[in-house]
Amino acid sequence: MSSTSRPWIPLLALAIGLVFSPAADAYLSYTLSSELKKSSCSGDSDSDCLDNAEENNLAWAAAPWYFYDEDEGCSEWRNEQGAPASHFQRQDFIQVRPEGGGIGAWSPTDGRTKWIRVSYFFLFPHDCGAKAGFLGGHQGDTEHIKLYLYSYDLKTWYLYNAYYAHHDMDHFFSGDYLQQRANALGTPWISVASDEDSHGSWPGREPDSTHCAGAEDDIGFGTFDCFRGTWRSDLNNGYGFVPSTSRNVGGPPPETWNASVVTVSGAAAWSDLNVGHGLNREYWTNETGQFQKFCGWECPNGSRNSDGTCAASAHGETGCSSRLTNTVEPNKSKTDLTWFSVQGGSCSGLCGGAAAGCYCDASCVTYGDCCPDACSACGVC
């Protein structure tokens, strides 16, 4: 990213940064026992200046309820393939990354708004959508959501909005929208409702309805049904699952991949798992040829074709998950690659403008991307 372009910040951030209004802070919030970013970046091992333990704690605190469709037949909850439940078990990974510049200068008392993104990856070995009649099944199914959160004091984080991906479509839902539905449901957490066998992620529609999607996605004609009963009855009957937040993958430069969670070699990072077909590999970094698609650890490495499909059939499928372009490896396309700068540059002689990876103008306080010396050099405090 050039020094003249801002990282993306939602427009309401302007109001939030200037006035700590009750409406803004009424969003769903999650409070840690200590600051996410410590003095001198202590507790950080993946080069993003955030305390690793608190990254996981925040991901756990904000984690959604996950609901399976009553007709789900391709997960650890229920499958119709005659295979052990462990074969279809959803594999959860997370990623926590800051946004903006000068992360190292973040302070709980600086009056600035700080932004982070928490991504939740829901990775399924198999998609059984073929039996649903029109979506088609395949090996591997890679789903995810992203939460955008902000904080003033680095301990309490407010949900501004959330990104939900489903069937090569996607939508943002505001924190206010999600808060209203969580309140109506009687819970302080958002939800992810998974549709039958294909695992698209939806936020839920009405607590006392079976529907999880409305007019925001016409692929389901406004009537996607994602619950065993109603959304409320599923929660009350203990049918909501909390995703695991123990596997934080880290990220690409300026961050580093978490070698305790994924295997790292040079710029490449991957996960090796055996779900019943032998040890297989899936990449988090860009790959071409045989690893360009996500086969859900079902296709043995030696059976992958050069176009990313599989020479070996798993439950009647040889095709593997891909985006509509069929050329972008799904995990890579869904991994958070957003630029940020830990150190930032200096505002000396650049007041009102931008330095390397940070800013020296009045709005940098609002955006949370001021250079460390913006106050002393330019009076931007």
Report DSSP state, residue 195. Answer: P
Q: Where are the beta strands (DSSP E) in 256-296?
A: 263-265, 268-273, 280-283
Rg of the chain in Å (alpha carbons): 21
- HSE-CB for 290 with a 13 A CA cutoff: 12
- State the residue for tokens 């150190």: 343
Angle at the Cα of 121 (from 285 to 287), degrees rounded to 5?
A: 15
Cis bond upstream, residue 7 (ω within 30): no
DSSP state of 52: H
Q: What is the pLDDT of residue 82?
A: 82
Distance CA 126, CA 305 (A): 18
What is the model's pLDDT at position 135?
59
Pick from 188, 119, 203, 187: nearest CA to 158: 188
| Residues of the chain scoring pLDDT < 70 | 1-26, 130-135, 168, 214-223, 323-330, 357, 368
Both tokens of 22, joined, read: 């009750």
pLDDT tens for each residue of 339-359: 788 887 788 889 999 887 678
User: Which amino acid appears at position 20 of this protein?
Assistant: F
Rounded to whole angstroms, the Cα distance separating 365 from 17 reads 7
How far apart (Å, rounded) are the C-alpha atoms in residues 110 and 170? 35
| CA 285/CA 46 separation, integer angstroms | 16
Nearest alpha-carbon partner for 363 in 378, 352, 350, 376: 352
Pairing state between β 191-194 and 201-202? antiparallel
Q: Which among 288, 264, 361, 340 has a CA at the least distance from the CA of 105?
A: 340
Residue 22, burial from CB neighbour count under 10 angstroms (0-12, 13-18, 19+): exposed
CB count within 10 Å of CB 276 equals: 15
